[in-house]
Structure 1
Amino acid sequence: MRALQLAPLLRNMFAGGAACALALAPGLVPAHHPVTARLALADDGECTYPARPIRSEPWSLQRVMLDQLWQNSQGEGVSVAVIDTGVDARNPQLKDAVDKRDGFDLIDTKGDGTNDTVGHGTKVAGIIAARPAAGTGFVGLAPRATIIPVRQNDDQGNGNAGTLAQAIRKSVAEGAKVINISQDTTGGPGPDPALTQAVQYALSQDVVVVAAAGNDGTGGQQHTTYPAAFPGVLAVGASDRNNERADFSQSGPFVGVAAPGVDMVSTVPIGGQCVDNGTSFAAPYVAAVAALVRAKHHDWHEQQVVAQIEQTAQRVDPGHNNFIGWGVVDPVRALTDDAKPIDEPVPDRSPTQGGAKVQPAALTLGETPQQRAERTATYALCSAAVLVAVIAGGAVVVRDARRRRTTT
């Protein structure tokens, strides 16, 4: 089986501002940028495990009316498989979210998927389903969803397309209704056949597959990344605070939606939170929305869930573009603008569709020569009248002044 290489995009900024890059062995590498395996930018410039709690509410949550969102769904009853570097259930916000019984480890066959020496998978899981906790404003978007921890990769690059395919199939067998893959593959002329078949199998089993688009988009470069580019997979790019594409976010016709992926707060091993960047953390934001939709609409199939997320995204164009897909995901609208399921997103209607046509304003040709002459004459007459009034007023003032001097 051909081993595909995932671009080594693990970086982080230390407190002094120096960048540290971690190059991993050929295989699959978490698709995020920029972070390192063990360090991530936190409020003090450095993150260790455990980390200090971040008390403020992250911007990615401030943009969502959580009370309104959770009136509709909190993801209860939906299992989300996080195929990653494992999920550390020791973090108090993940203790009740992680299902160790269904978790599995493809690197250490005796493991249950909760050994995360990198921290990447723990961050991904937190964005999806971290439980509320005192002392922090961070919480997962689907705080009652269940995480199936899957350790398929590590800081040695032991994951490859084959193990990813195996993880997808086993996640389906363990009951996942949503699968999050914050990884991408490069190095081959096309997608790996085993990975292709595994994704097709998951979709056929009514599983929503969400994947990070990748982080090679700086300068507008476009690359096709897998599994994000497989038909039926919801590929997620990263957006910033202005709902614009993050400069690193991979663009291309396969991008389905964008989601916050800059300065993303999330859980880390043992406890606490750190901040990170990348499409790796935009993908679970969307996977959480998928879990919310699935919990509310048990009878919707996976294609309808994906279409709902794409249709209700905040758009900058009437339809799809290669940078943020159908738009930036809108969790509240996805849960409220849901009167009936749809099978695919459609472009916004133009002003001439479905109603009265917009009537153009009457065309004017400007002044005729005669109108211009009349206007000029009017201006001249008014100016002359003003001048006469000024002169007359001045004469009266002079006369009165002379009379006062004579009297004196």
Structure 2
Amino acid sequence: MRGPVVCAVVLAGLTVAPGAAVAAPAPTPPTGRLLVTLRPPAHGTAQAAAARAVAARAGARPAGLSVPQLRLVGVRARHGASLRALARRLRADPAVASVRAERRFTLRYVPDDPALTDPEPRAEPGTVVEWWAARESLPSAWDVTRGDGARVAVIDTGVDATHPDLAARIVATADFDADSADGPATVDEVGHGTHVASLACATSGNGIGLAGAGGNCDLLIAKSDLTEGSVAEALVWAADNGAQSIVMSFGTDGRVPASDAVVQALRYAAAHGSVLVAAAADDPVTEQGDPANVLQPTGTGPDITQNLGLSVTAATAADARASFAGRGGQISMAAYGTYGGSGPNGLLGAFPAQTTALERGGPTSDQPPCHCRTTFDGDPRYAYLPGTSMAAPQVAAVAALMRAVNPALPPADVVRLLKQTAHRPSAVGWTGDLGWGILDAGAAMAAARAIDRTAPTSSLQRPVVRGRSIRLRWRGEDDTLPGVASTGIDHFEVWRSAGGRPARRIATTRARSMQLRGMRGQRYGFFTIAVDRAGNREAPPVRADASVRIARR
């Protein structure tokens, strides 16, 4: 079913078995105990005695764990000693087969939203209402983050801000709809914006309705009349308000090129750190219209590096492109937009309390009433809507989660990782039906956490001067956020300025100290720049870390 026409721009995609790959779970903290597997002991030697001998040789203390059937024992370092050094000594012992730091499992996060557990009566037995969550590996992403710090901007028809699945998620709103009769951004007369916002960030774990793909991500709501000027204003507002991703579930037919105002606004938002996500067409055509065709220009879909953002088409539960969804060289990837077959016509999402424009239908025969409202868990403020409009917010929400977990990851990397980790039913690369594949949130999140884009830091200690001899020492760290990969420092650059002249690099080294000689009566400034193994380079300081003056005599 098609969405309502507003100012000659159509809302995209209101039309609606197992197989998604599962990403690695979030790493858990170590317990401080080492798990040691022993080699089979010599004939006649009891395992307990062998374990005691190994511990004594390594300087370990027992840790209350012994599983003879597995030749497994637990040990700890002595008080004040290094666990890492103990592990090295144990690995060097010929009686030891393996050593690893023990970790503690964490309980899987299971939101209590009824859509995740209630059966979907119109689908195959065992199918829950929010069946797409497991298929897109969203629970694996939620194990990493519940959405804290993630911010999604929804440019659409507004939102019912009183809806219990959305009220707590909205952090800012702006009204770019010139028709004052449509109400403020917190009112959604159409119904489309409320549904889209809920698929992105419906509150999870509140025992109500559904869980948004981004968990408890924050929502920026930009109400638009979908004129080009309004959309340009909304894009800039969203970017200026810290949107990590922006979802645009609307588009044109593509017969007229995108206006410069919209193109420049899209570029502005991308340059300010927003991952841009647009719904593909709601017809099986190869021209997706703008903004989708600006984000993924004609013919660039197969090139994983060519894009300004993501053009998202809709897939069915059979992992096939939905019959109503766009296809071809402007498609980046897909997410689920309908069940397909004899299942429910669309995805469950939040809906305004009042009768909406979607329910009333449009003035032409191709816009019949949607008959989409449903009462879910006793609440009539829900609806089933199908379309690329429903697929796009899921991708945008996961993009925001990736940016929140690894803030140093630029939008281009997020887009590339979403494509690379997408589930490909045909086990090949890009296809004209699903682009690079169907959203796999868990795999995308794992990939985002494995990339080090954070520059290391270094600090120079106060130099020691004896005569003309200068002794430099420095420290370095390659810290990242918890759970994000750190590749470690590869080398340091040592820089020196003399007599107030610009600094010059005098050494590149893996050492953390150096000795050099200066000229009598000369003043020197020194600083270091750390470079990690991922190629991230520390920014030069505003002024030298340390300065010294060599006495004239």
Structure 2 CA distance for aligned equivalents of residues 229 and 83 of structure 1: 17
Structure 1 residue aligned with 2:178: 107
1:202 is matched with 269
Q: Which among 24, 33, 43 is matched to residue 14 of structure 2?
A: 33
Aligned equivalents of 2:188, 2:316: Cα separation in 1: 27
Which residue of 1 is the match for residue 396 of structure 2?
287
Distance 2:419 2:400 in 1: 15
- The structure-2 alpha-carbon separation of the partners of 1:72 and 1:222, relative to structure 1 and needing over 3 Å to count, comes to same
CA distance in 2, matches of 1:259, 1:180: 13
Matched with 2:204 is 132
| Alpha-carbon distance in 1 for matches of 2:138, 2:15 | 28
Match of 1:283, SS?
A: helix
Return closer, same or farther for 1:199/1:323 CA change in 2, 3 Å cut-off: same
User: What residue is the counterpart of 2:321 in the other structure?
Assistant: 245
> 1: distance between equivalents of 2:174 and 2:155?
10
Determine the C-alpha separation between the residues in 1 that align with 2:406 and 2:446: 12
Where is the strand percentage greater, Structure 1 or Structure 2?
2
Distance 1:109 1:171 in 2: 21
Q: Specify whether residues 239 and 341 from structure 1 end up closer, same or farther in structure 2 by C-alpha distance, changes over 3 A only.
A: farther
TM-score, normalised by the number of residues in structure 1: 0.68
Indicate the residue corresponding to 2:156 in structure 1: 84
- Matched-pair contact (CA < 8 Å) for 1:28–1:160: yes
Counterparts of 2:336 and 2:417 in 1: how far apart (Å)? 18
Secondary structure of 1:214's aligned partner: coil
**Distance in 2 between the 1:66 and 1:257 partners?**
16
Contact conserved, 1:112 with 1:149, CA < 8 A, in 2? no
1:181 to 248, 263, 270: 248
- Deviation track 1:61-91 (CA, whole Å, cap 9, x = no partner) reads 2324554321212221122110000011111
Following TM superposition, by how much is the alpha carbon of 1:341 offset from its aligned partner in structure 2, in angstroms? 6.4
Q: Which residue identity lines up with residue 394 of structure 2 in the other structure?
A: Y
Q: Retained in 2: the 8 A contact 1:85–1:152? A: yes
Counterpart of 1:75 in structure 2 is 147
For 1:6-45, what aligned pairs fall within 5 Å after superposition?
A: 9-10=2-3, 24-34=5-15
Identity of aligned residues (%): 33
Partner of 2:349: 266
Q: Which residue of 2 is the match for residue 333 of structure 1? A: 443
Residue 185 of structure 1 and its aligned partner are, at CA, apart by 1.4
Q: What corresponds to 1:233 in structure 2?
A: 309
Q: How does 1:135-150 map to 2 (within 5 A)?
A: 136=208, 138-150=210-222
Contact 2:286 2:327 in 1 (8 A): yes
Q: For the Cα contact (< 8 Å) 1:216–1:223, is it kept in 2?
A: no
Residue number among 287, 300, 310 corresponding to 1:223 in the alignment: 287
8 Å contact kept, 2:240–2:272? no
Cα–Cα, structure 1 residues 29 and 189, in superposed 2: closer, same or farther, change >3 Å? closer
CA distance in 2 between counterparts of 1:25 and 1:84 reads: 11
- Tell me, yes or no, if the aligned pair for 1:82 and 1:150 is still in contact at 8 Å: yes
Are positions 1:276 and 2:276 aligned together? no
- State whether residues 58 and 137 of structure 1, in contact with CA within 8 Å, keep that contact through their aligned partners in structure 2: no
Distance verdict in 2 for CA 1:71–1:211, change over 3 Å: same
Quote how far apart the aligned CAs of 1:134 are: 5.8
Q: Which residue number in structure 2 is paired with residue 4 of structure 1?
A: none
Cα distance between partner residues in 1 of 2:228 and 2:274:
19
Among 429, 438, 442, which residue is 1:319 paired with? 429
1 or 2, which has the higher helix percentage?
1
1:327 CA drift (Å): 0.5
SS of residue in 2 equivalent to 1:290: helix
Question: Which residue of the partner structure matches residue 161 of structure 1?
Answer: 228
Query: Conserved in 1, the CA contact under 8 Å of 2:281 and 2:288?
Result: no
Aligned partner of residue 318 in structure 1, secondary structure: coil
SS at match of 2:416: helix
Partner SS, residue 313 of structure 2: strand
Distance in structure 2 (CA, Å) of the matches to 1:313 and 1:66: 13
- Alpha-carbon distance in 2 for matches of 1:305, 1:266: 26
Indicate the larger mover: 136-145 or 231-240: 136-145
Structure 1 residues 321 and 332: alpha-carbon distance in aligned structure 2, compared to 1, 3 A threshold:
same
Asked if 1:301 is matched to 2:401, the reply is no
Kept in 2, the 8 Å contact 1:308–1:341? The answer is no
Q: Which runs of 5+ in 1 are unaligned?
A: 1-7, 11-21, 36-52, 154-158, 343-408
Aligned residues: 297
Question: Where does structure 2 lack aligned partners over 5 or more consecutive residues?
Answer: 17-113, 120-128, 295-306, 339-345, 354-378, 454-553
Amino acid at match of 2:149: G
Greater Cα radius of gyration, structure 1 or 2: 1
Once the two structures are TM-superposed, the CA of residue 198 in structure 1 deviates from its matched residue by 0.9
Q: Alpha-carbon deviations, 1:254-313, whole Å to 9, x = none?
A: 211100001211111136321110000000010111111111111100001111111100
Q: For 1:255 and 1:105, how far apart are their aligned partners in 2?
A: 28
Residue correspondence of structure 1 range 325-404 to structure 2 within 5 A: 325-338=435-448, 339-340=450-451
Higher relative contact order structure (alpha carbons within 8 Å, sequence separation ≥ 6): 1
Q: 1:117 is paired with a residue of what secondary structure?
A: coil
For 2:287 and 2:452, how far apart are their aligned partners in 1?
32
Other structure's SS at 1:80 match:
strand
